[in-house]
Amino acid sequence: MMHRAGVLPLIGLLVLALANLEAEELTSTEQPSLSPAETLLWLTDHLAHIDKPSKLHYQFTRRGSLEEDFDDRVDLYILNVNADGTKEAKLDFFSGDRNQFVPPQENVRGNPVLGIYLQGDVYEMDRLTGGNWRYFHRRLKYGFADGAEVTPITFNYNGHMVEGEQIRISPYVNDPKRPQFEQFADKEYVILLSEEVPGSLYQIHTVIPGKKEDGAEMNEPLIEETLTFVDITAIQ
């Protein structure tokens, strides 16, 4: 069965960012009012502290009872630091047959891994439910805009404690269309960010809990994904 990478038709970097707030929903005089979660995700210079060409390495794991497990990698290459502080970047998302082409970007400030991961998640929900990716895109957007829980957090990174923010959303729990995809409706997203981590993104964790026939949660989730920052190395 195909999963995530096999069904990811990329439509551009950071597609869930401010530039993709559905312009048709705004009049020419309206300005989007962003939530704390949206500001952290889409209006923050995650790459500000990277001052030379570097490779940021992330480890990806997928586990669960629904489909096969697998491990893979995501590598973000900062190819050049521009005079205005923006970066030229290239993203190598997954390896081998799972690898997805992502066009190089010339003037980025946000971490491209965030947008590409979440857009892949949108298409994954489309595949799993037989629904419409645009619908799940919208639910994620509304989740970050109106339903996100943002809390200060201290977590262990590379052997020492760092301060950051945790963003948590469950965008489908109260979804009016929940009965159409009940099995996946309790999906939760948790994102950890910290200025003390290169690229600011430390981890994205999503889980779809498994359930018994009586509705109680099982120990093993249907699908659990974790993308975690591992290290940064200089490149020539």
215 within domain boundaries: yes
CATH number at residue 165: 2.50.20
7 within domain boundaries: no
Q: What is the pLDDT of residue 137?
A: 93
Taking only the tens place, the pLDDT of each residue in 139-152 is: 999 999 998 999 99
User: Tens place of pLDDT for every residue, the chain, 236 residues?
Assistant: 345 544 444 333 334 333 343 333 433 344 468 899 999 999 999 999 999 999 999 999 999 999 999 999 999 999 999 999 999 999 999 999 888 888 999 999 999 999 999 999 999 999 999 988 999 999 999 999 998 999 999 999 999 999 999 999 999 999 999 999 999 999 999 999 999 999 999 999 999 999 766 656 677 899 999 999 999 999 97
16 within domain boundaries: no
23 within domain boundaries: no
Q: Which domain holds residue 228?
A: 35-234
20 within domain boundaries: no
- Counting the structural domains of the chain, the total is 1
73 within domain boundaries: yes
Which neighbouring-strand residues pair with 169?
Answer: 189
141 within domain boundaries: yes
Q: What is the pLDDT of residue 131?
A: 87
5 within domain boundaries: no
